[in-house]
């Protein structure tokens, strides 16, 4: 990529991060282009669709998830490793509440392998905690995306007035995850259903 094209891409991403954080994922792309100081045509050359731009913004945060995953996997206590990763994922959302839903967009392209590696590491955390007996057996991987969706809603409603309220939700759910199963849970969403929900949150 030529230097000027690479510079324009970073300017657009900087503007998009701030715009999405302040006003959510539906902010007009024309406004993002104006803040970035580039033409709308330049924005669309770099990011042909809104989804492409959302994905690029989300990919900037992969390093934060990778760091949280490394810490979780390095912890000798399986429950502490699993619950620490869950807390870290919700903290990443809380740093920029307006991006809470954007950060759940699955990554494709160059960052797809990194995103997949984070998910595989998360599955290892789940496996270790179940093997240890500290995570309930009927927990499924799709429960974390549901938690993050719920957290996004809490952040959207409370970030301006009670910015730490989300922590109470997370701790409630972690306690539920760690409790022995007393009654059967409703059937979880399938991986395909959750994938569609994460890609099309308004549907």
pLDDT digits (tens, 9 = 90+) for 145-192: 899 989 988 988 898 899 899 999 999 999 999 987 677 888 888 888
Nearest Cα residue to 123 out of 172, 171, 72: 72
Find the helix or strand (DSSP H, E) in which 27 lies.
none
- pTM recorded for the entire structure: 0.77
**Residue 60 CB-half CA count within 13 A:** 17
DSSP of 178-192, one letter per residue?
HSPP-SPPPPPPPHH
Q: What whole-number distance in Å separates Cα of residue 147 and Cα of residue 154? A: 11
pLDDT digits (tens, 9 = 90+) for 43-78: 999 999 998 898 888 787 788 899 999 999 999 999
Q: What whole-number distance in Å separates Cα of residue 29 and Cα of residue 31? A: 5
pLDDT at 175: 94
pLDDT digits (tens, 9 = 90+) for 156-165: 889 889 989 9
Q: What whole-number distance in Å separates Cα of residue 156 and Cα of residue 200? A: 18
């Amino acid at each position: 990529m030529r230097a000027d094209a690479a510079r324009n891409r970073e300017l657009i991403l900087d503007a998009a991060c701030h715009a999405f954080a302040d006003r959510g994922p539906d902010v007009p792309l024309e406004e993002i282009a104006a803040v970035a100081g580039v033409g709308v045509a330049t924005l669309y050359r770099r990011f042909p669709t809104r989804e492409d731009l959302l994905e690029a913004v989300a990919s900037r945060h992969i390093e934060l998830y990778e760091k949280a995953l490394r810490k979780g996997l390095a912890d000798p206590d399986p429950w502490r490793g699993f619950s620490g990763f869950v807390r870290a994922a919700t903290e990443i959302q809380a740093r920029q509440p307006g991006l809470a839903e954007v950060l759940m967009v699955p990554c494709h392209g160059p960052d797809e392998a990194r995103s997949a590696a984070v998910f595989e590491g998360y599955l290892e955390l789940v496996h270790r905690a179940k093997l240890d007996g500290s995570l309930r057996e009927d927990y499924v991987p799709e429960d974390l995306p549901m938690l993050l969706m719920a957290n996004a809603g809490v952040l959207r409603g409370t970030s301006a007035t009670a910015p730490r309220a989300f922590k109470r939700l997370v701790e409630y759910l972690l306690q539920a995850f760690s409790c022995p199963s007393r009654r059967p849970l409703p059937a979880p969403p399938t991986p395909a259903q959750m994938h569609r929900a994460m890609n099309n949150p308004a549907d």
